[in-house]
A and B are shown apart, each in its own frame.
Chain A
Amino acid sequence: MDRPIRVLVAKPGLDRHDRGAKVLARAYRDAGFEVIYTGLDRSPEEIAEMAIQEDVDVVALSILSGAHDVLVPKVIRLCREAGADDVLFLAGGIIPDEDRPRLTEAGVAGVFGPGSDLDEIIRFTRENVRRKVPR
């Protein structure tokens, strides 16, 4: 059997709106992924550490506070510094269109706003996982 793809669904920062994160986590689970959920109020340092320890293939960051500009690049930088340079980063939540290029530049492969199609997110994840999956 193929190894399931491991995803860290993360809630950085201080917004407490985790419906989106939970719906996404559920969709990933139902699509056969192993989902690790961080819980609320996580610092970029904590998220990077979890990504390392759990050896995930994907980190999906859900932010509705507007602080994505700061938090997302920081998580990516910390992950890479710790050696997790083959992780696929996704961002979701309330992210204005004009902020997208900067997130892409920071290393986010896909940005998914409200109303995104869950199947599309899952397809995108499957197709873009960067690490060669060991069997």
Chain B
Amino acid sequence: MSLADSVLAGDRRAVARAITLVENGTPEGLALLRAIYARTGRAHVIGVTGPPGVGKSTLVDAVATAVRRDGQTVGVIAVDPTSPFSGGAFLGDRVRMQRGVVDPGVFIRSLATRGRLGGLSAAARDVIHVLDASGRDVILVETVGAGQAEVEVMELAHTTVVVLAPGLGDEIQAIKAGILEIGDVFVVNKADREGADRAVAELRFMIDMGRWREGAPGPWLRPDEVKAGHEPGAVSTGVRAGGTGAAAGGGGAPGDGTGAGPAGWTPPVIKTVARDGEGVGELVEAFRAHRWHLARTGGLEARRQRDAEAEVREVLLARLVAAIAGDERIQRLHGDLVRRVAARELDPHSAAEALLEAVRTERS
């Protein structure tokens, strides 16, 4: 049986080998991707991101357990940073993933970023394809501890969950751009700690504010209030909506026709204590609801298009860089241009232009 066939049959050893091959960008890895690609696109890919220390790994472990309990299989990709100095990495997410290690329905792979910024490994997409082709129903992708800019995960996940914990910096953080904009689902983990309700309220307020700016009535107004011509500006009542706690959906629940926002989905804010599995069932429900919502509104197809576009762009970029690195003449030109940029004889944009021109003439 070929490696591709073994992967498609779900053989663990083959899947592990295949991931190594695609991660290293080997010719065998590329051939494998060609062979399996038509069989991908079936899994529900869930991106899990959030600042360091909020409990992402513990939450992923708990979600995997809950998904298994429902009879579905799980793949986990856990990304940790590569040291910029040694090129080595300490991949420690398994320390918090204690359950399901010997369950054949769970496959966990740790990846190092290998120099990639944005919170993921450059190989993450290809590793998703391998796990997807091997028949995993749900694939959880845990990013490195993300600050505000590591938003890349949203470009490969169907559902992006942003995990926070009480006391992280509160209001000011909550209105900043970045990871707080990319959540389809928000989690306040460690919800047994002081300040959890406040964190939930702040997230709710932030989400509602976004909806209001997009022209939605705002969940804190009932439909009759909107009809009565109330201005959705009363912030104090908005906090009331947030303060009701952890229920999924907020106002404007998916499917009721009143939801605004680009796709009519209001990101739920869910409280969990991942260590004890508390709130995790509700979280898994929210993932399913989101997936269902995407399927129903055409969002799934739209994301598929978007992902394909991003993926082709990424591979193209990598190939272009490799082409420059692989051609001696262009490589020399590159070194020369870099020196001139460093000496301030040339600006970086002109240098890139010259390189592009060189690649173009090389090809023709």
A residues with CB within 8 A of B: 1, 3-4, 25-26, 28-39, 42-43, 45-46, 49-50, 52-55, 82-84, 134-135
A134 and B21 within 8 A (CB) = yes
Flag the segment in B88-96, B156-164, B247-255 that touches A.
Answer: B88-96
B86 and A38 within 8 A (CB) = no
Interface of chain B residues 83 through 111 with chain A (CB within 8 A): 83, 85-92, 94-96, 98, 101-102, 107-110
Taking a contact as CB atoms closer than 8 A, the residue among A3, A36, A45, A82 that contacts B94 in the complex is: A36
With both chains docked as a complex, state the minimum distance between the C-beta of B347 and any C-beta of chain A, in angstroms. 28
Interface of chain B residues 309 through 363 with chain A (CB within 8 A): none
B13 and A83 within 8 A (CB) = yes
Taking CB atoms, residues of chain A closer than 8 Å to B94 are 36-39, 50
Interface flags, B231-270, vs A, CB<8A=1, else 0: 0000000000000000000000000000000000000000
Cα distance A87–B88 in the bound complex, in angstroms: 19
Taking CB atoms, residues of chain A closer than 8 Å to B19 are 55
From known contacts A49-B101, A83-B13, A134-B20, infer whether A54 and B109 are also in contact, taking CB-CB under 8 Å. Answer: yes
A53 and B88 within 8 A (CB) = no
Taking CB atoms, residues of chain B closer than 8 Å to A49 are 101-102
Taking a contact as CB atoms closer than 8 A, the residue among B24, B101, B109 that contacts A135 in the complex is: B24
B residues with CB within 8 A of A: 12-13, 16-17, 19-21, 24, 26, 28, 82-83, 85-92, 94-96, 98, 101-102, 107-110, 112, 114
Number of A-B residue pairs with CB-CB distance less than 8 Å in the complex they form: 85
If over half of B's interface residues share one DSSP class (helix, strand or loop), that class is named, otherwise mixed; here it is mixed
B91 and A3 within 8 A (CB) = no
With both chains docked as a complex, state the minimum distance between the C-beta of B181 and any C-beta of chain A, in angstroms. 32
A29 and B95 within 8 A (CB) = no
A82 and B90 within 8 A (CB) = no
For this complex, 19 residue pairs linking A to B, each with C-beta atoms less than 8 Å apart, are: A28-B88, A29-B90, A30-B86, A32-B88, A33-B88, A34-B82, A34-B89, A34-B91, A36-B91, A36-B110, A37-B91, A45-B102, A46-B102, A49-B102, A53-B16, A54-B16, A55-B17, A134-B20, A134-B21
Cα distance A33–B87 in the bound complex, in angstroms: 7
Nearest-neighbor residue (CB-CB) of A57 within chain B: B20
Taking CB atoms, residues of chain B closer than 8 Å to A134 are 20-21, 24, 26, 28
A26 and B90 within 8 A (CB) = yes
Nearest-neighbor residue (CB-CB) of B20 within chain A: A55
Cα distance A50–B102 in the bound complex, in angstroms: 8
A53 and B95 within 8 A (CB) = no
B102 and A34 within 8 A (CB) = no
Taking CB atoms, residues of chain A closer than 8 Å to B90 are 25-26, 29, 35, 37
Report, nearest first, the 8 A-B pairs whose CB atoms are least far apart: A39-B95, A29-B88, A55-B16, A83-B13, A46-B101, A32-B88, A32-B87, A55-B20
Nearest-neighbor residue (CB-CB) of A46 within chain B: B101
Taking CB atoms, residues of chain B closer than 8 Å to A84 are 13
Taking CB atoms, residues of chain B closer than 8 Å to A31 are 86, 88
B88 and A4 within 8 A (CB) = yes
Taking CB atoms, residues of chain B closer than 8 Å to A32 are 86-88
Taking CB atoms, residues of chain B closer than 8 Å to A25 are 90
A29 and B83 within 8 A (CB) = yes
With both chains docked as a complex, state the minimum distance between the C-beta of A58 and any C-beta of chain B, in angstroms. 13
A29 and B16 within 8 A (CB) = no
